[in-house]
Amino acid sequence: MEGASAVPTSQSPIDEPVPHFGDQVRAVAEALTDSSGRPLRSSDPVHRLAVDVVTALLLAGFALPPDRRALYGGGPYVTVQANDVLVTWLTHSRLALHDPEDAHGAIVDHMNDVLGDVLGVLGFAVQRVPEAEAGYLVTGLRSQPPLNADDE
């Protein structure tokens, strides 16, 4: 087959354009809510910290969908409680429903620790929430996070 290309012509999902990083951060930041479910405003004192947390988690490779309904499959969940940012892990709802060995609780505890460790490494002050499966409160910055969404 002379002239035939050995390279497939269909586009792989890996080749699809990735949204600009700043656009990803803005989309997630615009969807942030407080503990009552109200949208977080840019004038809220904790807004900058929440955006820094979102930026850090995206940089670390975590997927954060801007639409909270997309979290039905699990992953990190970011919300604001008072003047802090709560970060917790969610599993797929089916795991919690069909889980005689409590794998759900073990996975959530482990992944919450991963989230807390990653945020600590990236310069955030974090505190484990004492309630089981509750996650970590990010209370501020110990050092400057590695990259602002607008630095790109």
What is the chain's pLDDT, residue by residue, as a tens digit (152 residues)?
445 444 444 444 445 555 678 888 888 888 888 878 888 888 888 999 999 999 999 999 998 877 666 656 788 989 898 889 999 988 877 777 777 677 888 888 999 999 999 999 999 999 999 886 689 999 998 876 555 545 44
Measured at the CA of 51, the angle between CA 131 and CA 58, to 5 degrees, comes to: 85
DSSP β-bridge partners for residue 80: 34, 85
Q: Is the dihedral of CA 123, 74, 110, 78 positive or negative?
A: positive
Burial of 1: CB neighbours in 10 Å, binned 0-12, 13-18, 19+: exposed
Dist. CA 80–CA 5, nearest whole Å = 53
Token readout for 109 is 């505890």
96, 132, 144 from 28: Cα distances, Å: 26, 26, 21
